[in-house]
Amino acid sequence: MLRRELFVAFLVLLTVPNVGGGQEGEFKKFIATCSTTQVADFTCEIVGDRWEVRCILAAGQDPHTYETKPGDTKMVADADLILRNGWHLEGHEWMMNLAKDANKPVVTCVDGVKSLTLGGGAEVKDPHAWLSPINASIYVRNIVKGVSQIDPEHRLEYEARGELYIAQLRTLHLWVQREFNKIPRSQRVLISHHDAFNYFCTLYGFQGASPGGWSTGDEIGAGITAERRQKVVDTIRSYNVKAIFVETTINPKLVRQIAADAGVKVAGSLYADSMGSPGTAAESYLGMMRENVIMIVNGLK
Ligand SMILES: [Zn+2]
Protein backbone atom coordinates (compact mmCIF):
# COMPACT_ATOMS: atom_id res chain seq x y z
CA MET A 1 0.00 0.00 0.00
CA LEU A 2 2.69 2.42 1.06
CA ARG A 3 4.58 1.59 -2.09
CA ARG A 4 1.56 2.38 -4.27
CA GLU A 5 1.05 5.79 -2.56
CA LEU A 6 4.65 6.69 -3.14
CA PHE A 7 4.28 5.73 -6.79
CA VAL A 8 1.18 7.96 -7.16
CA ALA A 9 3.01 10.84 -5.46
CA PHE A 10 5.86 10.36 -7.90
CA LEU A 11 3.47 10.50 -10.87
CA VAL A 12 1.88 13.70 -9.53
CA LEU A 13 5.33 15.27 -9.22
CA LEU A 14 6.07 14.33 -12.80
CA THR A 15 2.91 15.94 -14.13
CA VAL A 16 3.04 19.27 -12.23
CA PRO A 17 4.41 21.81 -14.69
CA ASN A 18 7.40 23.76 -13.53
CA VAL A 19 6.35 27.38 -13.61
CA GLY A 20 9.70 28.89 -12.79
CA GLY A 21 11.78 28.63 -9.67
CA GLY A 22 13.94 25.51 -9.89
CA GLN A 23 16.93 25.60 -12.19
CA GLU A 24 16.43 22.01 -13.25
CA GLY A 25 13.03 22.45 -14.93
CA GLU A 26 11.96 23.95 -18.20
CA PHE A 27 9.93 27.12 -17.93
CA LYS A 28 9.04 29.76 -20.40
CA LYS A 29 11.37 32.70 -20.23
CA PHE A 30 10.14 36.23 -20.64
CA ILE A 31 11.80 38.10 -23.50
CA ALA A 32 13.30 41.58 -23.15
CA THR A 33 14.29 43.35 -26.36
CA CYS A 34 16.71 46.24 -25.76
CA SER A 35 17.98 48.94 -28.08
CA THR A 36 21.55 49.59 -26.88
CA THR A 37 24.27 47.36 -25.52
CA GLN A 38 24.36 49.23 -22.21
CA VAL A 39 20.62 48.87 -21.64
CA ALA A 40 20.91 45.16 -22.46
CA ASP A 41 23.79 44.74 -19.99
CA PHE A 42 21.88 46.45 -17.16
CA THR A 43 18.85 44.28 -17.93
CA CYS A 44 20.94 41.07 -17.86
CA GLU A 45 22.26 42.07 -14.43
CA ILE A 46 18.71 42.28 -13.07
CA VAL A 47 16.72 39.46 -14.66
CA GLY A 48 19.08 36.54 -14.02
CA ASP A 49 18.01 33.46 -15.96
CA ARG A 50 14.30 34.27 -15.87
CA TRP A 51 14.43 36.35 -19.04
CA GLU A 52 16.07 36.07 -22.39
CA VAL A 53 17.68 39.44 -23.13
CA ARG A 54 18.03 40.43 -26.77
CA CYS A 55 19.69 43.55 -28.15
CA ILE A 56 19.03 45.21 -31.49
CA LEU A 57 22.36 47.02 -31.70
CA ALA A 58 25.54 44.96 -31.87
CA ALA A 59 28.72 46.17 -30.17
CA GLY A 60 30.23 49.02 -32.19
CA GLN A 61 26.98 50.13 -33.84
CA ASP A 62 25.85 53.76 -33.60
CA PRO A 63 22.37 54.26 -32.04
CA HIS A 64 22.00 57.79 -33.48
CA THR A 65 22.24 56.74 -37.12
CA TYR A 66 20.95 53.17 -36.92
CA GLU A 67 18.39 52.16 -39.54
CA THR A 68 16.00 49.42 -38.48
CA LYS A 69 15.84 46.12 -40.35
CA PRO A 70 12.97 43.65 -40.88
CA GLY A 71 14.52 41.32 -38.27
CA ASP A 72 14.18 44.09 -35.65
CA THR A 73 10.40 44.14 -36.12
CA LYS A 74 10.32 40.42 -35.27
CA MET A 75 12.57 40.93 -32.23
CA VAL A 76 10.15 43.55 -30.94
CA ALA A 77 7.06 41.48 -31.82
CA ASP A 78 8.45 38.50 -29.85
CA ALA A 79 9.21 40.58 -26.75
CA ASP A 80 7.27 40.85 -23.48
CA LEU A 81 8.99 44.17 -22.73
CA ILE A 82 10.92 46.76 -24.75
CA LEU A 83 13.76 48.67 -23.09
CA ARG A 84 15.33 51.76 -24.61
CA ASN A 85 17.53 54.68 -23.59
CA GLY A 86 15.24 57.52 -24.73
CA TRP A 87 15.72 61.28 -25.29
CA HIS A 88 16.47 60.68 -28.97
CA LEU A 89 19.59 58.58 -28.44
CA GLU A 90 17.85 56.13 -30.76
CA GLY A 91 17.87 58.53 -33.72
CA HIS A 92 14.40 59.74 -34.74
CA GLU A 93 13.05 57.49 -31.93
CA TRP A 94 13.43 54.27 -33.92
CA MET A 95 13.00 52.03 -30.88
CA MET A 96 9.85 53.80 -29.67
CA ASN A 97 8.38 53.58 -33.18
CA LEU A 98 9.02 49.84 -33.36
CA ALA A 99 7.43 49.37 -29.91
CA LYS A 100 4.38 51.47 -30.80
CA ASP A 101 3.82 49.57 -34.05
CA ALA A 102 3.87 46.29 -32.10
CA ASN A 103 1.85 47.73 -29.18
CA LYS A 104 4.45 46.65 -26.61
CA PRO A 105 5.13 48.06 -23.13
CA VAL A 106 8.28 50.22 -23.00
CA VAL A 107 10.79 51.11 -20.29
CA THR A 108 12.54 54.40 -21.03
CA CYS A 109 15.68 53.99 -18.94
CA VAL A 110 16.66 57.67 -18.83
CA ASP A 111 13.36 58.67 -17.14
CA GLY A 112 14.04 60.44 -13.85
CA VAL A 113 17.57 61.59 -14.72
CA LYS A 114 18.25 65.30 -14.18
CA SER A 115 18.91 66.30 -17.76
CA LEU A 116 21.70 68.40 -19.13
CA THR A 117 20.42 70.45 -22.02
CA LEU A 118 22.43 71.07 -25.13
CA GLY A 119 23.02 74.47 -26.66
CA GLY A 120 23.09 75.37 -30.31
CA GLY A 121 19.77 77.19 -30.28
CA ALA A 122 17.72 74.08 -29.59
CA GLU A 123 16.56 72.85 -26.20
CA VAL A 124 17.55 69.22 -26.50
CA LYS A 125 17.99 66.88 -23.54
CA ASP A 126 21.38 65.20 -23.68
CA PRO A 127 20.65 61.45 -23.89
CA HIS A 128 24.12 60.16 -22.85
CA ALA A 129 23.20 59.93 -19.18
CA TRP A 130 24.50 56.37 -18.58
CA LEU A 131 28.10 57.56 -18.74
CA SER A 132 27.61 58.79 -15.17
CA PRO A 133 27.47 55.74 -12.83
CA ILE A 134 25.10 57.76 -10.60
CA ASN A 135 22.66 58.06 -13.51
CA ALA A 136 23.23 54.41 -14.42
CA SER A 137 21.68 53.49 -11.07
CA ILE A 138 18.52 55.38 -12.15
CA TYR A 139 18.47 53.23 -15.30
CA VAL A 140 18.75 50.13 -13.11
CA ARG A 141 15.82 51.19 -10.90
CA ASN A 142 13.66 51.85 -13.96
CA ILE A 143 14.50 48.40 -15.35
CA VAL A 144 13.76 46.70 -12.00
CA LYS A 145 10.37 48.41 -11.96
CA GLY A 146 9.63 47.53 -15.58
CA VAL A 147 10.47 43.82 -15.37
CA SER A 148 8.63 43.56 -12.02
CA GLN A 149 5.46 44.88 -13.64
CA ILE A 150 5.61 42.13 -16.25
CA ASP A 151 6.64 39.42 -13.75
CA PRO A 152 5.47 40.62 -10.28
CA GLU A 153 5.93 37.16 -8.79
CA HIS A 154 9.72 37.62 -8.82
CA ARG A 155 9.87 41.31 -7.89
CA LEU A 156 11.95 40.75 -4.74
CA GLU A 157 14.51 38.83 -6.77
CA TYR A 158 14.81 41.65 -9.34
CA GLU A 159 15.11 44.21 -6.55
CA ALA A 160 17.85 42.16 -4.86
CA ARG A 161 19.89 41.91 -8.07
CA GLY A 162 19.31 45.62 -8.70
CA GLU A 163 20.59 46.58 -5.22
CA LEU A 164 23.74 44.50 -5.65
CA TYR A 165 24.42 46.08 -9.03
CA ILE A 166 23.81 49.60 -7.70
CA ALA A 167 26.37 48.85 -4.96
CA GLN A 168 28.83 47.93 -7.74
CA LEU A 169 28.04 51.21 -9.53
CA ARG A 170 28.79 53.12 -6.30
CA THR A 171 32.12 51.30 -6.01
CA LEU A 172 32.85 52.14 -9.65
CA HIS A 173 32.11 55.83 -8.98
CA LEU A 174 34.47 55.96 -5.98
CA TRP A 175 37.19 54.19 -7.98
CA VAL A 176 36.80 56.64 -10.90
CA GLN A 177 37.17 59.58 -8.50
CA ARG A 178 40.37 58.07 -7.06
CA GLU A 179 41.82 57.35 -10.51
CA PHE A 180 41.17 60.89 -11.76
CA ASN A 181 43.09 62.30 -8.79
CA LYS A 182 46.12 61.23 -10.86
CA ILE A 183 45.27 63.95 -13.44
CA PRO A 184 45.94 67.56 -12.38
CA ARG A 185 42.74 69.67 -12.40
CA SER A 186 44.16 71.96 -15.10
CA GLN A 187 44.57 68.98 -17.45
CA ARG A 188 41.09 67.55 -17.05
CA VAL A 189 39.90 68.26 -20.56
CA LEU A 190 38.14 65.48 -22.45
CA ILE A 191 37.92 65.82 -26.22
CA SER A 192 36.34 63.16 -28.41
CA HIS A 193 34.29 63.02 -31.59
CA HIS A 194 30.84 63.86 -30.22
CA ASP A 195 29.30 65.20 -27.00
CA ALA A 196 28.74 61.83 -25.32
CA PHE A 197 30.63 62.70 -22.15
CA ASN A 198 28.78 65.75 -20.75
CA TYR A 199 27.38 63.90 -17.72
CA PHE A 200 30.70 62.15 -17.18
CA CYS A 201 32.64 65.44 -17.43
CA THR A 202 30.22 67.25 -15.10
CA LEU A 203 30.50 64.50 -12.49
CA TYR A 204 34.30 64.24 -12.56
CA GLY A 205 35.31 67.87 -13.06
CA PHE A 206 36.35 67.81 -16.71
CA GLN A 207 35.92 70.38 -19.44
CA GLY A 208 34.57 68.76 -22.59
CA ALA A 209 34.63 69.67 -26.26
CA SER A 210 33.80 67.87 -29.49
CA PRO A 211 33.54 68.74 -33.17
CA GLY A 212 30.43 66.59 -33.67
CA GLY A 213 27.74 68.00 -31.37
CA TRP A 214 25.36 65.82 -29.39
CA SER A 215 24.45 63.33 -32.14
CA THR A 216 26.21 61.76 -35.10
CA GLY A 217 22.83 61.81 -36.88
CA ASP A 218 20.96 64.64 -38.55
CA GLU A 219 18.78 65.72 -35.63
CA ILE A 220 18.16 69.19 -34.24
CA GLY A 221 21.31 70.93 -33.06
CA ALA A 222 23.55 68.00 -34.00
CA GLY A 223 26.42 67.53 -36.40
CA ILE A 224 29.89 68.69 -37.26
CA THR A 225 30.26 72.43 -37.80
CA ALA A 226 33.31 74.57 -38.60
CA GLU A 227 32.61 76.53 -35.41
CA ARG A 228 32.66 73.38 -33.23
CA ARG A 229 35.83 72.16 -34.94
CA GLN A 230 37.54 75.51 -34.29
CA LYS A 231 36.39 75.51 -30.66
CA VAL A 232 38.04 72.11 -30.20
CA VAL A 233 41.34 73.34 -31.64
CA ASP A 234 41.15 76.47 -29.43
CA THR A 235 40.41 74.35 -26.36
CA ILE A 236 43.38 72.07 -27.09
CA ARG A 237 45.67 75.09 -27.39
CA SER A 238 44.38 77.12 -24.45
CA TYR A 239 44.45 74.18 -22.01
CA ASN A 240 47.59 72.69 -23.47
CA VAL A 241 45.77 69.37 -23.81
CA LYS A 242 48.13 66.38 -24.18
CA ALA A 243 45.82 63.98 -25.95
CA ILE A 244 42.37 63.60 -27.51
CA PHE A 245 40.24 60.54 -28.20
CA VAL A 246 38.36 58.79 -30.98
CA GLU A 247 35.25 56.70 -30.25
CA THR A 248 34.61 53.04 -31.01
CA THR A 249 31.39 53.65 -32.96
CA ILE A 250 32.60 56.55 -35.13
CA ASN A 251 35.01 56.93 -38.05
CA PRO A 252 38.24 58.33 -36.48
CA LYS A 253 39.26 60.43 -39.50
CA LEU A 254 38.07 63.84 -38.28
CA VAL A 255 39.56 63.53 -34.79
CA ARG A 256 42.87 62.38 -36.30
CA GLN A 257 42.88 65.46 -38.58
CA ILE A 258 42.20 67.76 -35.64
CA ALA A 259 44.97 66.09 -33.61
CA ALA A 260 47.39 66.64 -36.50
CA ASP A 261 46.28 70.30 -36.89
CA ALA A 262 46.61 71.02 -33.18
CA GLY A 263 49.80 68.98 -32.70
CA VAL A 264 48.47 66.51 -30.10
CA LYS A 265 48.30 62.73 -30.03
CA VAL A 266 45.22 60.51 -30.23
CA ALA A 267 45.40 58.51 -27.01
CA GLY A 268 42.94 55.79 -28.01
CA SER A 269 39.35 54.86 -28.65
CA LEU A 270 36.71 55.49 -25.97
CA TYR A 271 33.53 53.49 -25.46
CA ALA A 272 30.65 55.95 -25.50
CA ASP A 273 27.50 54.91 -27.38
CA SER A 274 28.37 51.20 -27.33
CA MET A 275 30.15 48.72 -25.09
CA GLY A 276 32.95 46.54 -26.46
CA SER A 277 32.48 43.26 -28.31
CA PRO A 278 31.84 40.08 -26.31
CA GLY A 279 35.13 38.68 -25.07
CA THR A 280 36.85 42.06 -24.77
CA ALA A 281 37.66 43.91 -21.53
CA ALA A 282 34.85 46.36 -22.31
CA GLU A 283 32.10 43.80 -22.92
CA SER A 284 30.12 45.05 -19.90
CA TYR A 285 29.20 48.50 -18.62
CA LEU A 286 31.56 48.16 -15.64
CA GLY A 287 34.27 47.00 -18.04
CA MET A 288 33.81 49.79 -20.58
CA MET A 289 33.85 52.44 -17.84
CA ARG A 290 37.01 50.91 -16.33
CA GLU A 291 38.77 50.76 -19.70
CA ASN A 292 37.75 54.34 -20.56
CA VAL A 293 39.05 55.69 -17.26
CA ILE A 294 42.36 53.85 -17.57
CA MET A 295 42.77 55.20 -21.12
CA ILE A 296 41.92 58.77 -20.08
CA VAL A 297 44.36 58.66 -17.14
CA ASN A 298 47.12 57.27 -19.37
CA GLY A 299 46.46 59.97 -22.00
CA LEU A 300 46.12 63.03 -19.76
CA LYS A 301 48.15 62.51 -16.57
ZN1 LIG B 1 26.02 59.57 -28.83
Distance 217 CA to ligand 1 centre (A): 9
* 138-186: pLDDT as tens digits: 999 999 999 999 999 999 999 999 999 999 999 999 999 999 999 999 9
Contacts of 76 (CB under 8 A, 6+ apart): 33, 82, 98, 99, 101, 102, 104
> How far is ligand 1, taken at its centre, from the CA of residue 89, in Å?
7
215 CA → ligand 1 middle, Å: 5
Whether 28-174 and 182-300 share one fold: the answer is: yes
Please identify every residue whose CB atom is under 5 Å from ligand 1, which is an ion. 196, 273
Q: How confident is the model at residue 19 (pLDDT cuts 50, 70, 90)?
A: very low
Mean of the per-residue pLDDT values for the chain? 91
- What separation in Å is there between the alpha carbon of 92 and the centre of ligand 1? 13
Distance 62 CA to ligand 1 centre (A): 8
What does the domain layout of the chain look like in residue ranges? 28-174, 182-300
For position 20, what pLDDT does the model report? 45
What confidence tens digit (pLDDT) does each residue in 92-149 have?
Answer: 999 999 999 999 999 999 999 999 987 655 678 999 999 999 999 999 999 999 999 9
Q: What pLDDT shows up at residue 25?
A: 56
Tell me the CA–centroid distance for residue 6 and ligand 1, in Å: 63
Distance 116 CA to ligand 1 centre (A): 14
Expressed in angstroms and rounded, the spacing between residue 288 Cα and the centre of ligand 1 is 15
User: CATH for 182-300?
Assistant: 3.40.50.1980
pLDDT of residue 283: 98
CATH (residue range 28-174):
3.40.50.1980
What tens digit of pLDDT does each residue of 201-254 get?
Answer: 999 999 999 998 888 888 777 888 888 999 999 999 999 999 999 999 999 999
Distance 162 CA to ligand 1 centre (A): 25
Percent of residues, the chain, with pLDDT higher than 70:
90
